[in-house]
């Protein structure tokens, strides 16, 4: 078996998050439609726009390492998004729907944060400063999204979830 180095691992992980981002892009409009609180709907819509930009940044990183932009099935994001779908079905028309959606979205953000945090560090170690800067920009967006979702949870959604079903 050929010896695999950090640049191979970097490329593989890039493919993983590229796959994940494109899945997330498809899932966000569904989540925005399902969300009841206008703040949560707006947050999902805003993040959809950001995700488009994040995909473009990843394409730039592929270019920097001289590889074509291609994804590789990411079981982790499949699982996290499947749980989100389950919540949308099981909590449809329930006061706890938004709390569930928000929690599912935060699981997605945390997955992205761990991936981008790692990729950014590896890019630096590999001497890919431009790639590291691109990955850091996305890392900041994902972290801010997570903070914003926490604010929405605290401000509106979690209290709403306690109310009895109509």
The count of C-alpha atoms lying within 13 angstroms of the C-alpha of 10, restricted to the half-sphere facing its C-beta, is 23
CB-CB contact of 105 with 84 (8 Å): yes
Cβ atoms < 10 Å from Cβ of 99: 22
Q: Is 27 in the site for Fe ion (CB under 5 A)?
A: no
Q: Is 112 in the site for Fe ion (CB under 5 A)?
A: yes
Q: Is 16 in the site for Fe ion (CB under 5 A)?
A: no
Select from 142, 149, 156, 157 the one that contacts Fe ion (CB under 5 A).
142
The closest of 143, 24, 117, 132 to 76, measured between CA atoms, is 24
CB-CB contact of 84 with 104 (8 Å): yes
Least CB distance to Fe ion at residue 54 (A) = 4
Least CB distance to Fe ion at residue 51 (A) = 5
Candidates 21-29, 38-46, 95-103, 146-154; binding stretch for Fe ion (CB under 5 A): 21-29
Select from 10, 27, 32, 54 the one that contacts Fe ion (CB under 5 A).
54
């Amino acid at each position: 078996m050929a010896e695999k180095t950090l640049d191979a691992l970097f490329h593989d992980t890039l493919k993983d998050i590229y796959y994940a981002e494109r899945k997330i892009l498809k899932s966000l409009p569904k989540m925005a439609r399902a969300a009841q609180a206008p703040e949560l709907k707006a947050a999902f819509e805003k993040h959809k726009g950001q995700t488009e930009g994040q995909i473009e940044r990843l394409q730039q990183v592929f270019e920097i390492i001289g590889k074509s932009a291609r994804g590789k099935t990411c079981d982790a994001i499949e699982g996290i998004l499947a749980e989100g779908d389950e919540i949308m079905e099981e909590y449809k028309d329930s006061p706890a729907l938004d709390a569930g959606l928000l929690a599912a979205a935060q699981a997605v953000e945390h997955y992205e944060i761990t991936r981008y945090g790692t990729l950014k560090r590896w890019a630096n170690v590999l001497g890919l400063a431009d790639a590291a800067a691109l990955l850091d920009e996305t890392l900041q967006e994902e972290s801010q999204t997570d903070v914003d979702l926490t604010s929405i949870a605290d401000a509106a959604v979690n209290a709403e979830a306690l109310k009895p079903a109509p």
